[in-house]
Amino acid sequence: MNRKALTSLDAYDKTIVQLGAAGLVMAPYLALTGGFSGLHLTALSAGLMLLVSLTHTAIPYAMYFGAMVRLPTQTVALMSYLDPITALILSALVLHEPLSPAGLAGAVLVLGSTILSELWAGKKQ
């Protein structure tokens, strides 16, 4: 969702729109591909899923959309580019997941293009 289309919504409504759209896309896909076949819900697993959904998805999205209206567009874009790189680095450091050559190449490409974009924008001014 782009910034112009969602300017009239507050951060919580933007979060609902974004996560709702993701759910509307993913639910039929999972139903058609058998993605729900391994799901065995208990009260504990449902509670833990709700906890993770709120603390690691809904609250960060609400904070992101709340900050989006206060920050310059370029800063918001930069943070969205750095987010997957941060996840890649943290997964390697905290979870000891191996860094694949493709992941490293992607990180280098994203960081390199971000730096080039910043340098190019600086020359224009």
Residue 78, pLDDT > 70, answer yes
Confidence class for position 5, pLDDT limits 50, 70, 90: low
Confidence class for position 55, pLDDT limits 50, 70, 90: very high
Residue 125, pLDDT > 70, answer no
Residue 114: count of CB within 10 angstroms of its CB: 15
* Structure tokens belonging to residue 42: 């208990």
* Structure tokens belonging to residue 96: 């000891």
Q: pLDDT tens for residues 88-122?
A: 999 999 999 999 999 999 999 988 988 888 788 76
Name residue 64's amino acid.
Y
Determine the Cα–Cα distance for residues 53 and 56; give it in Å rounded to an integer. Answer: 6
Residue 3, pLDDT > 60, answer no
pLDDT score at 91: 94
Q: Transcribe the chain into DSSP letters.
A: --TTTTTTS-HHHHHHHHHHHHHHHHHHHHHHHTTTTT----HHHHHHHHHHHIIIIIHHHHHHHHHHTTS-HHHHHHHHHHHHHHHHHHHHHHS-PPPPHHHHHHHHHHHHHHHHHHHHHHHH-
Q: pLDDT tens for residues 9-31?
A: 888 888 888 889 999 999 999 99
Torsion of CA 4, 9, 118, 90, to 10 degrees: -140
pLDDT score at 33: 92
pLDDT score at 66: 86
pLDDT score at 109: 93
